[in-house]
Structure 1
Amino acid sequence: MPDLLFIFGAKYLIFASILLTGYYLFVSPIETRKKLMIFLLISLPFAYIVGIGAREMYVNPRPFAVENFEPLVAHAADNGFPSDHVLLAASLAAILFFFNRRYAAWLGGFAIFIAVSRVYVGVHHSLDVLASIGIAMLCAIITSKLYASR
């Protein structure tokens, strides 16, 4: 039973993060919606580009490739650094932190569970998911500072 829960977290919980962000966007006042869309359009690509740069600078083979075991979810045996799933989930949480702390708390909880799940199912090391959380937070903070200075 725990395996199924972590498989769900590793593969599918990211969609709940996306849906919750979309829901918040939909129910927000038009002015908040505009600001959030701009923030999303800046911060998400920024985090993704930083993630690509980190991936090019540091290679961390996936745990199942190094330790020779079968992961609970199928995955290519490529560089696992940083985790794209966690990067997206943590980015959404970090971005919403500047708009609605309650939604951000839910998204942060999802991001943490996704991170733990990705490690549990054997497709990431702890460093991969922690780096993703750090990149997401850093990019959201930088975006916030740049956006606030306009």
Structure 2
Amino acid sequence: MAYWLMKTEPDTFSIDTLKEMDVSCWEGVRNYQARNMMRDQMKNGDLVLIYHSSCKKVGVVGIAEVVNEAYPDHFQFDPESHYFDPKSDPDNPRWIMVDVAYREHLPLVPLAKIKARPELENMPLVKKGNRLSIMPVTEHEWDTVLAMAGREPVRSYES
């Protein structure tokens, strides 16, 4: 099992939206490095920190679980979609997505507090220039962020 952090803008898709839906595709990833991690490394049962970005209260707000591994992002073929990619070939799709299931809300763990923790200094989230929407999280980083939210470590959820 692996741990991840996925960024989302709450005005577009929030932890509350995910809770209402229970399970949602994580579409619209248009960065090759993030795509490759989703395609090659994300597995069913991996746990995800949901991170709200581009808002007043930036930080970790909840937990999700990968419940369906990589498959083609159908929005890349829809000319009406914001995520349309005219260069993507249905026989060799350029973009993929995974499905994630809501697991729980967490009290906000603000980015400023994450940056202030010396044990999180190597976390990709706090590295300068890292703007990926999906990034790996080590088990130690996972445990530290959960502790900051007042939560015991989580290793799995009964589906």
TM-score, structure 2 as length reference: 0.24
Q: Which structure carries more helix by proportion?
A: 1
TM-score, structure 1 as length reference: 0.25
> Which structure has more RCO (C-alpha within 8 Å, separation ≥ 6)?
1
